[in-house]
Amino acid sequence: MIRKRCEESILLRMILVGDRLKKRRDKISKRIGISTQQWLILLHIAKDPNIPFFDMENHKKDLMPKEIARTNGTSRSNVTVIINSLIEKKLIREETDQQDKRQKRLKLTRAGEELLDSLQLKREKLNTELFKGFTVEEMEKMLHFVDKFIQNITLEVHEV
């Protein structure tokens, strides 16, 4: 017999939120001619300070594909396919790392910067609408909760 438990209720709601956010992102990214995954990688390369990776690591250099794969919890080969498509669209470019010539670092092109700049006001407006009715304190508590949850789930993944 399945019984009502707070943990399961929260998780199922988080899944529902994730699904709805994905549909929303897909709709927006389709309009601008890139996939959601491409958009997220562009945000990583732009060093969007809202991405948890940059809170967890003090990262000064441009990112490498393997770092993007690690932060997104995916394989290097999956990220490489997306990176190659962004290079073809002339939104990013690869540059050889100065300390290790075998490594490639990723940079936005002028077109990539312009694309992200053109989206930023719309992104901020849409995200503000999502949090309408929340106080700053509530959003800060939510952020704390989500960060704690990410930490717990990351520990769990490493233990399995």
According to DSSP, residue 61 is labeled S
pLDDT band at 92 (very low <50, low <70, confident <90, very high): very high
Ordered by start, the domain boundaries in the chain are 8-123
Q: What pTM, to 2 d.p., does this model score?
A: 0.84
On average, the pLDDT of the chain sits at 89
The closest of 135, 41, 53, 28 to 83, measured between CA atoms, is 41
Q: What CATH class is the domain 8-123?
A: mainly alpha
Helix ranges (H only) for 33-135 are 36-45, 52-56, 65-72, 76-88, 110-130
